[in-house]
Amino acid sequence: MQTAAAIKNNEMPDALLNQSGEALGVAQVTADHTPTYWVAAKDLHQVMRGLKPQFPMLYDLFGIDERHRTQRPGQPAADFSVVYHLLSFTDKGDIRIKVALIEPGSVPTLVDLWPAANWYEREAWDMFGIIFDGHPNLRRILLPPLWEGHALRKEHPARATEMEPFAMSEELLDAEQEALLFKPEEWGMARESDETEFMFLNLGPNHPSVHGVFRIALQLDGEVVVDAVPDIGYHHRGAEKMGERQTWHSYIPYTDRIDYLGGVMNNLPYVMAIEQMAGIEVPDRAKVIRIMLSELFRISSHLVFYGTFAQDVGQMSPVFYMFADRERLFGIIEAITGGRMHPAWFRIGGVAQDLPVGWDRMVREFIDAMPARLDHYDKMAMQNSILKQRTVGIGKYNTREAIEWGVTGPGLRATGMEWDLRKARPYGGYDQFDFEVPTAQGGDCYDRAVVRIEEIRQSLKIIRQCVDNMPEGPYKSEHRLTTPPPKDRTLQDIETLIHHFLNVSWGPVIPAGESACMVEATKGLNSYHLVSDGGTTSYRTRIRTPSFPHLQMIPLISRGLMIPDLIAIIASIDFVMADVDR
């Protein structure tokens, strides 16, 4: 384990040194070994500007309420902190910058450096009341416009029983509806130009093609999108707040429902982040089982994407074939886990159960049948000339823009960037597998689909390797913080019995610390940043989801196009609103 002293100033990136070579940052040790530095708010902008060439993507930005935290050795005093997670696509890894705030403090906005910062800063303001100086439009983003207070502050109750029962009266309903009325002037939009009068159209929250409850307020000239304002938050359920009240173990089922098409893929970054903090080494069999199930869910999610993509450009049939395939896949998931869409099957230190007898036959049947079916779909949908006309060259962005806006996953790879976390920084045993990283060059709607479809084939390849080489051994770690702990020896000695009893009834006590773990999820990079204060629950659970920044980019890539193009763009982004709003 590194200590703070071991991170010497001369290891600091140059950007963290001022002209006279003094350090602007204070190092902090985290369980995930990501270099983490505390920086004063006044130096933030300069530091970030210096870091940007090496760490081009603003991967995440969030707040932490530090006021109730007891164990923060060596960290500057703070009521709140703002955490910036920057990503490099080289072997430099990541860097995390933190700013301590004493209430009422403010930090400078980074919108001028990274356009992606816009929504993240709005979210931090929404949740904590942290003010970002110079932000162009610091308003609520996830919570309703009439909400009072800031939900992720510790004084805000996390349980319904701690507050008055909620009731939606007629007056409140009217007021909320009134508050949702789109006011073009607030977004600097004109109502008419010299030539034409603009139409303002609410596309969503209740609309067949916005994949959930999601509104895009459109400024239209005829059918041409002049400007667009995505409005999210309709699906917000306070998943991060819930993380602060559930035990480490009992939060796992909540993660399934973040990207609700990704199933156990969501469990993975969460349990891996805890395992990092607790120092649990996961046995090989559990690793391979995890990878196999995650890849099955990647296929499942991509199949839904494929079908709805075709459907949104008006092709009626493919979605039924793909859902039928997904049913077959869910049959396997059900046989293995007992659940279908949300199995919540990974555990801290392993998985819930061993694989059932005969599992390999089912999986083999599926992966043997799929390639031929994919070829068939390719002919039916992807090679259809109308579908190509509707999607080729539509919704284009290039690699630089993708990185500026925080785009990850297939959306990034479709711009020609061959960067997959599973290859670039293998986690959870992916280094043992042989697969390729599919890319495309155009960065348009069609290419995003091409990349995903090729990823289905690569996932099949990975799953086949899992089936062929499934290691023997335990499916769960022997570590005492494994949850629920192995029960075999509980009836033999009292110590094990006590541990088992406590870990099952209270849940495990995870050592104080911080850890983040990212995975290449179905829709892009998904990570959980967990803060433990040495208790049975998380002190702060930050869920960074890929869909959130992807939606922020919609106006950029849809201006000047028509409504049908916008629908194709929405379909090609592949998001679910639960993944955006959490």
Helices 284-312 & 318-337, crossing angle to 10 degrees? 160
* Cβ atoms 377, 299 nearer than 8 A: no
Tallying the residues shown for the chain, one arrives at 582
* Residue 224 interacts with another protein (CB under 8 A): yes or no: yes
Among 48, 293, 313, 450, binds another protein (CB under 8 A): 313
Residues 409-428 touching another protein, rule: CB under 8 A, are 415
* Residue 57 interacts with another protein (CB under 8 A): yes or no: no
Among 205, 486, 507, 546, binds another protein (CB under 8 A): 205
* Residue 378 interacts with another protein (CB under 8 A): yes or no: no
* Cβ atoms 123, 140 nearer than 8 A: no
Among 276, 399, 439, 541, binds another protein (CB under 8 A): 399
* Residue 188 interacts with another protein (CB under 8 A): yes or no: no
CA Rg value for the chain: 24
Q: What minimum distance in Å lies between the beta carbon of 523 and another protein?
A: 21
Residues 435-494 touching another protein, rule: CB under 8 A, are none
* Residue 398 interacts with another protein (CB under 8 A): yes or no: yes
* Residue 191 interacts with another protein (CB under 8 A): yes or no: yes
Please name which of 439, 470, 160, 169 lies closest in space to residue 291, comparing C-alpha atoms: 470
- Map 272-307 to HEC letters: HHHHHHHCCCCCHHHHHHHHHHHHHHHHHHHHHHHH
Among 72, 96, 215, 302, binds another protein (CB under 8 A): 215
**Interatomic CA distance for residues 522 and 301, integer angstroms:** 7
Residue type, 126: D
Q: What minimum distance in Å lies between the beta carbon of 60 and another protein?
A: 23
Q: What minimum distance in Å lies between the beta carbon of 333 and another protein?
A: 20
Q: What minimum distance in Å lies between the beta carbon of 551 and another protein?
A: 16
Among 2, 9, 196, 383, binds another protein (CB under 8 A): 196
Q: Which span (145-153, 243-251, 304-312, 463-471) binds another protein, by CB under 8 A? A: 304-312
Among 12, 23, 113, 201, binds another protein (CB under 8 A): 201
**Interatomic CA distance for residues 374 and 453, integer angstroms:** 8
Q: Which two tokens stand for residue 556?
A: 């950029």
Among 161, 177, 492, 505, binds another protein (CB under 8 A): 177
Residue type, 303: L
* Residue 560 interacts with another protein (CB under 8 A): yes or no: yes
Please name which of 29, 157, 85 lies closest in space to residue 528, comparing C-alpha atoms: 85
Please name which of 239, 174, 231 lies closest in space to residue 206, comparing C-alpha atoms: 231
The single residue listed with the structure tokens 């899992």 is 466
**Interatomic CA distance for residues 475 and 477, integer angstroms:** 7
How many C-beta atoms surround the C-beta of residue 224 within 10 A? 15
Q: What minimum distance in Å lies between the beta carbon of 371 and another protein?
A: 19
* Residue 558 interacts with another protein (CB under 8 A): yes or no: yes
* Residue 197 interacts with another protein (CB under 8 A): yes or no: yes
**Interatomic CA distance for residues 580 and 354, integer angstroms:** 33
**Interatomic CA distance for residues 126 and 144, integer angstroms:** 10
- Compare residues 363 and 417 and give the one whose CB is closer to another protein: 417
Q: Which residues 6+ apart lie within 8 Å of 401 measured at CB?
A: 407, 553, 556
* Residue 195 interacts with another protein (CB under 8 A): yes or no: yes
Q: What minimum distance in Å lies between the beta carbon of 561 and another protein?
A: 6
- Compare residues 154 and 207 and give the one whose CB is closer to another protein: 207
- Compare residues 153 and 559 and give the one whose CB is closer to another protein: 559
Q: Which span (131-139, 266-274, 306-314, 515-523) binds another protein, by CB under 8 A? A: 306-314
- Compare residues 88 and 398 and give the one whose CB is closer to another protein: 398
* Residue 372 interacts with another protein (CB under 8 A): yes or no: no
Q: Which residues 6+ apart lie within 8 Å of 359 measured at CB?
A: 332, 335, 336
**Interatomic CA distance for residues 545 and 563, integer angstroms:** 26
Among 114, 297, 397, 433, binds another protein (CB under 8 A): 397
Q: Which residues 6+ apart lie within 8 Å of 171 measured at CB?
A: none
Give CA angle at 333 (332, 336), nearest 5°: 85
* Residue 145 interacts with another protein (CB under 8 A): yes or no: no
* Residue 557 interacts with another protein (CB under 8 A): yes or no: yes
What region does 72 belong to: left with phi over 0, alpha with psi -120 to 50, or beta?
Answer: beta
Q: Which span (102-110, 204-212, 419-427, 448-456) binds another protein, by CB under 8 A? A: 204-212
Q: Which two tokens stand for residue 286?
A: 């559990």
Q: With CB under 8 A, what is the number of residues at the site for another protein?
A: 67
**Interatomic CA distance for residues 551 and 581, integer angstroms:** 11
- Compare residues 4 and 392 and give the one whose CB is closer to another protein: 392
The H or E element that residue 83 is part of is: strand 80-87
Among 125, 254, 306, 321, binds another protein (CB under 8 A): 321
Among 53, 167, 183, 468, binds another protein (CB under 8 A): 183
- Compare residues 40 and 563 and give the one whose CB is closer to another protein: 563
* Cβ atoms 7, 29 nearer than 8 A: yes
Among 66, 126, 275, 312, binds another protein (CB under 8 A): 312
- Compare residues 146 and 173 and give the one whose CB is closer to another protein: 173
Q: Which span (8-16, 277-285, 458-466, 555-563) binds another protein, by CB under 8 A? A: 555-563
- Compare residues 62 and 198 and give the one whose CB is closer to another protein: 198
Q: How does strand 80-87 pair with strand 57-65?
A: antiparallel
User: Where on the chain is the footprint of another protein (CB under 8 A)?
Assistant: 170, 173, 177-178, 180-184, 191-192, 195-209, 215, 221-224, 310-317, 320-321, 324, 384, 386-387, 389-390, 393, 395-401, 415, 556-565, 567
